Structure 1
Amino acid sequence: MVYNEIGKTGMRVSNLGFGASSLGGVFHDIREAEGIKAVHTAVENGINFIDVSPYYGHLKAETVLGKALVDIQRDKYYLSTKVGRYGKDGKNTWDYSAKRVTDSVYESMERLHIDYIDLINVHDVEFADLHQIVDETLPALVKLREEGVVKHVGITDLQPENLKWVIEHVPAGTVESVLCFCHYCLNDELLNEYFDFFEQNNIGVINASPFSMGLLSKRGAPAWHPAPDSLKEACAKAAAYCEEKGYPIEKLAVQYSCSNNSHIATTLFSSANPANVLKNIDYVNAPMDEQLVEDVQKIIGDHMRVRWANT
């Protein structure tokens, strides 16, 4: 496992991070005991960065993760959670007000059984009024940082242009990291256009969804995936090609997203299955087939970087 610093935070994290969304049954139902074991397996095998949100499973992911964390020494991991995006009774809700995000931090700490949060993120800023994020949400989190309740502050979004806008409109040092998903993977390298900006502003980069929410998998994208059919078909062809070569596209995808990119501190994957956790760790620690990367990206061809609707 390789360890990199997130920006200038001092947090040196594993290049493969544990995304806890699966603990909330986001993708399919889970067995709680197996999910807890998946967290333990990740930490025992070198993963030291865990990301979660109250939105995942509408509090379930944080609740299950909290049960796992009580058995892990606090200095063995860095924990990231989020504010702003929630859910209740099966419905998504959003609230980026100063009061709500402040209360949310304390509620998350209670569910997670911790007394501070290493990194607090504003979740999916695209769903908010960006001016509210700048004028109200982030100042509330900075106040918590000054009080030591949280150690570092970040923002997340599918759209990197929103992340850039927010950083440009807040005082330097307000935002310390960004989390962006589906834009540094085999079929999309859009983040390449933003790395210099983030680096110039001392912003650490967390990458997520190396499988592009299922596009880069043998099973293929789920029915709800917002990508256009043409992109789904191109990725399915790439997956079939990898299968013919005896090299699962999932292996190539996670290797590519975790490959030696000095701009990215960690890439998040999610699984509530301990065996899958070990498999992905093995993938990352194995050498990547560079020629296969080239072949796969040729197959995807003109569909590289194709954007889809907000999620």
Structure 2
Amino acid sequence: MSGIARRTLGPGGVEVTDLSFGAAGLGNLYSPITDEEAAEAIDTAWDAGIRYFDTAPHYGIGLSERRVGEALRARPRETYTLSTKAGRLLEAVDRPDGDDLAHGFAVPATHRRVWDFSADGIRRSLEASLTRLGLDRVDIMYLHDPDDHAEQAFREGYPALERLRSEGVIGAIGAGMNQTAMLTRFVRDTDVDAVLCAGRYTLLDQSALAELLPAAEKHGTAVVIGGVFNSGLLADPRPGATYDYTTAPRSLLDRACHLKAMAERHGTTLRAAALAFPLAHPAVATVLVGARSPYEVRDAAEQFTATVAADFWTEARAEGLLPAHVPVPAPVPGKDPA
């Protein structure tokens, strides 16, 4: 599909498409899907032009990695970019009992997660991920949610990733989190190629603009933006919709509904605006969208490549729904007024 472009992430030359596939849903996030449905979702993403896929051991205690690897394995390895994460080792339990829904995944509780950002833990995590993926390498590896493990992550985990990159085992390294403060520290104090920031640079939350994005732009660090729908509210604002995995407060629901009505007045959708918004900042390399079905993938690709009228952004600023200093997408020649 036209409209999905490629960008280089970091000095190592790792390429990402500016729309990318987040595979948490392929780990049976909240409810199960079949292996066939997971494969069809990735096939649909491929047909749409997406070539960057992100997964993690945490997603379905390994199920997402296994499904992603199975779907990509037959494709030429140089034609796509794959990232996974480290920080939670998976240890088999002697007597599996129940499911993993306490962590959000509808899978049998066959393993437990063990936090480990040590150098040995990082290498063990990578080896286990490669086994589950059935591949000989990943292109990007992130430290995953080191919020409560900062000391070990900076002292041991990051240097381990740096060594793997220098050895040519990994093309690019970084950290992925739902907060901006520690990601900003990674940008300023380390030599990461990229950071994955979820939910903190959206139409409803621009907190990444305070420090993280300016720091990334200054240091030449790429930013991957996930969670552009804030876990659902910006995809379908209605009573009971979720914002950051809990029921959205009334004030944010009203704001999202206002943005949706405004988008529709300007001939577009709230989903299209939410997907377009992050890439207006020069530090942002790609928008990572989670999907679990061919329909969701097709919709994301169609919305991503749709034109959002310049008047939408002008009105959003005029009504105080977006701060005046926030970058917005430039008008499309021949489609938007100058």
- Bin for the TM-score computed over the shorter chain: 0.7 to 0.9
**Separation in structure 2 between the aligned mates of residue 224 and residue 188 of structure 1, nearest angstrom:** 11
List aligned pairs for 1:14-25, cutoff 5 A. Answer: 14-25=17-28
Which residue number corresponds to residue 48 of structure 2? 45
| 1:250-289 pair list within 5 angstroms | 250-258=271-279, 260-289=280-309
Q: Is the 8 A contact 2:27 2:63 kept in 1?
A: yes
% identity of equivalent residues: 28
Q: Which residue of 77, 80, 93 maps to 2:80?
A: 77
- Corresponding position of 1:156: 176
TM-score, normalised via structure 2 length: 0.79
- Matching of residue 176 in structure 1 with residue 179 in structure 2: no
Q: In 2, distance between residues paired with 1:126 and 1:99?
A: 19
- Letter of the 1:211 partner, please give it: F
The residue that corresponds to 1:197 in the other structure is 215
Conserved? CA contact 1:154–1:178, under 8 Å? yes
SS in 1 for 2:139: strand
**Range that drifts further, 58-67 or 284-293:** 284-293
Residues 192-237 of structure 1 deviation map (CA, whole Å, 9 limit, x = unaligned)? 2332311222211111111111120225533882476144423452
Higher helix proportion, which one? Answer: 1
Q: Name the aligned partner's letter for residue 216 of structure 1.
A: L
Report if the CA contact (8 A) 2:264-2:270 is conserved. no
Alpha-carbon contact 1:184-1:257 (below 8 Å) kept:
yes
Equivalent of 1:54 in 57, 60, 66:
57
Contact 2:88-2:125 at 8 Å conserved across structures: no
Contact 1:8 1:204 (8 Å CA) reproduced: no
Q: Residue 112 in 1 paired to residue 133 in 2?
A: yes
| Equivalent in the alignment of 2:165 | 145
Match of 2:230 among 171, 194, 212: 212
Q: 1:9 to 1:160 in 2, by over 3 A?
A: farther
Alpha-carbon distance between aligned partners in 2 of 1:99 and 1:60, rounded to the nearest angstrom: 23
Question: 5+ residue gaps in structure 1?
Answer: 306-311
Quote the Cα distance in structure 2 between the aligned partners of 1:77 and 1:244.
35
Q: Which of 171, 179, 186 lines up with 2:203 in the alignment?
A: 186
What TM-score do you get using the length of structure 1 for normalisation? 0.85
Describe the superposition over 1:77-119 as per-residue Cα deviations: whole angstroms up to 9, x where unpaired.
1111000136676265322122222101011111112111110
* Alpha-carbon separation, structure 2, partners of 1:268 and 1:124: 17
Query: 2:233 touches 2:243 (CA, 8 Å); kept in 1?
Result: no
Kindly report structure 1 stretches of 4+ aligned residues shifted beyond 6 Å. none
- Displacement, 1:11? 2.0
CA distance in 1, matches of 2:62, 2:206: 32
Which of 1 and 2 has greater Rg? 2
Change (3 A) 1:34 1:239: farther
